[in-house]
Structures are given as structure tokens and as C-alpha cells.
Amino acid sequence: MRAKKTVSKKKKVNVVVSERGRVYINATFNNTMVTVTNNTGDVVAWSSSGAKGFKGTRKSTPYAGGLAVEDAVKKAMEAGITMVDVFIKGPGPGRDSGLRSVRGAGLSIMSISDITPIPHNGPRAKKKRRV
């Protein structure tokens, strides 16, 4: 007979929230992931289009990305965030609709930054895709 292991659950850590925070929108071709943090970088709220119940190709639509951003922003507003800096990463379809959702939810946007990584002639690129 095997000995049973007891697993203890981690306590939820209370995050100190001021009225200013950051919204990170990671828009890939397959999904849109959103993270809202306070100024020190501790996560206050997060969401994604997959977490909102979308599957397959519907997950990679602007509508799904907008809903994901709206969900994360509402959670952050309940925690007490009112002003945000927005950081957008990636080429996906959730970029613009995500930014509109931040503005539409009632948060005041202090700055918008595009932090998409751009190679400055790094390693050799993959061969061109033939369809």
C-alpha cells in the first residue's frame, strides 16, 4: 500500500494596490493574454480569451481579446486601480480591441507603449514557408 501525500494549499497573498498600475496585453495569433499589475509589478488581475471560454479559432478574434481585457480591467478596478500605463506586445488581432476595452472600462490611460520584441539582426531566420 502506498503512503498518501498531503498537499497544503498556498495562501493567497494580499497585494498592495495604489491607484496607479500597468496593463500588459500580449496579443499572439492564437490568444490574447492580459495582466494587470501594480507599480511594483505584483499581479493584481489577469485574464485571457481562452479563460473567457473561447476555443479554437474564435479564441484568436478581436472580440475575444476585448472581452479578456475587459474582464481583467474590471477585477483591477475592484481592487482600486484607476490610472494605468498600457504595454502592448505582439502582432495579434486582440491589440486594438484590447486598447479600446481599457478605455471603455473607465480607466484613465497615462501612456501607451508597444513592447513587441524586434530582432536587430539576431540569429538566422527560418526558411520561407511554402504553402
Tell me the pLDDT tens digit for each residue of 75-90.
999 999 999 999 999 9
pLDDT by residue (tens digit) across 14-46?
888 889 999 999 999 999 999 999 999 999 999
Q: Cell numbers 498531503 correspond to what residue?
A: 6
- The strand pairing partners of 113, in sequence order, are 87
Read off the pTM.
0.84
Report the number of distinct structural domains present in the chain: 1
pLDDT by residue (tens digit) across 118-128?
989 889 988 99
Domain holding 47, by residue range, is 20-114
| Strands 20-27 vs 83-89: parallel, antiparallel or unpaired | parallel
> Per-residue pLDDT for 2 more than 70?
no
% of the chain residues with pLDDT over 70: 97
Residue 33 located in a structural domain: yes
CATH number, position 79? 3.30.420.80
The pLDDT value given to residue 18? 86
Residue 72 located in a structural domain: yes
3-class SS of residue 131: coil
- The strand pairing partners of 86, in sequence order, are 23, 112
DSSP state of 128: P
Q: In what order do the strands lie in the sheet with 20-27?
A: 43-48, 32-38, 20-27, 83-89, 108-114
